[in-house]
A and B are shown apart, each in its own frame.
Chain A
Amino acid sequence: MGNALDLFAAASSEGAWTVSEVTRRARAVIENGLHPMWVRGELTGFKQHKSGHWYFALRDERAQVRCVMFAKYNSRLPTPPTEGLQVFVLARPTMYEERGEFQLTVAELLTSDRDGLWRAAFQKAKANLERDGLLDPARKRPLPRFPRRIAIVTSRDGAALHDVRVVVARRWPLAQLVLVPARVQGAEAENELCRALRLLGRIRFLDVAIVGRGGGSQDDLWTFNSERVARAVADVPVPVVSAVGHETDITLCDLVADVRAPTPSAAAAAATPDRDEVEAHLGHLAERLAQCLERRAERVHERVTRCGERLEGAMGAQLERAAGRLSEHAGRLDALSPLAVLSRGYSIARDAHGHVLRRLADFGPGMTFRLRVTDGEVPARTAER
């Protein structure tokens, strides 16, 4: 092997670097020379690893660079980006030593279209909910007038619980407020909210539920845009008031809930009647009840009076009729009585035996008889011949 090239001699006097050394040095040079920066480009070759890390490349017309976005960072995004999307990434340039590859470690990813990913995820989930009829206005249930038990699904130490408590205590202290605690932001929020919402169906005497949180940034609100959480809201067996504490953004939970309130306080007010108004209503009912009784009593009284009058009227008429009949009869009696004839100047002659003397032949000369006139009898005698 006399002609063999002495590789070690051909290298520098320092000797050759190992691969690990050169990649490590290159990495140090890159990381010292290129600080974290925003990079824009077209996303391509997207792959999600089992571990949850995202791998993709960014390219433009002339070059491309490999990128990794670890699960810790990409979990804040609503959905993986689609192929060909124009994106901005906040990235730290580095060397992936095991492969000797230059790459960007991505901490943040935005689409060039502002909020594009969020909107895309939102639209997709919304379309799914719509397809399943969960956004149908006909599904909206009316809230109960006088809730006995109100559940609030929110975090134990958030402002929402306090606000709801204050309003319920003031407006409708008859209701019992039941907290079903769930974290409303962070990695566990989605699971905890779904679990808490499922639990609602098992609480007895529950009439209405409030789900929500106080105001937060859009990232904080994202849990309420989760399709899973929205479906869990739709499955709650009692009416749900959503209060995600964001005036401008409507979340999927808001769309699925029976009533959407802008804040937790407003949700509590929507779920309860006002005690003073209810008291006034009771007073009004009491008055109407009393009026009913009064009117009824008046009517009875009137009826009794009217009966009395009618009775009198009936009797009077009968009496009058009787009186009329009597005088009629009396008239007839008069007409038949001979006394009435006598009163007109006639008289009746009777003999000693009381026989009425009607004709000439009944009278003899010098015969005594009696004359009945209207007011008595007169002894009389016919002339001697």
Chain B
Amino acid sequence: MPSCPDCGMCDCDCKKTVIKTVDKATDKEFLDILNARMETLRKENTKLKNENNNLKKKLAEATKTKEEIKDELMKGFKKI
């Protein structure tokens, strides 16, 4: 058996639910859902861009440090 046929016959009268209930979504409600999703995606995009920039900076710093270490080592070798 699949878990539930979701035949649409169950009809809950529960008043504790947090979601507004509708018989059929209006065009506006569908658009609201799409807009909310777009907004979330934009925020996620911005967050990812920021993370990407931060990672690039860290990489640059790490590379610089590596170069510096290399220079110091080379200086040390020259002394020897």
Bind each other: no
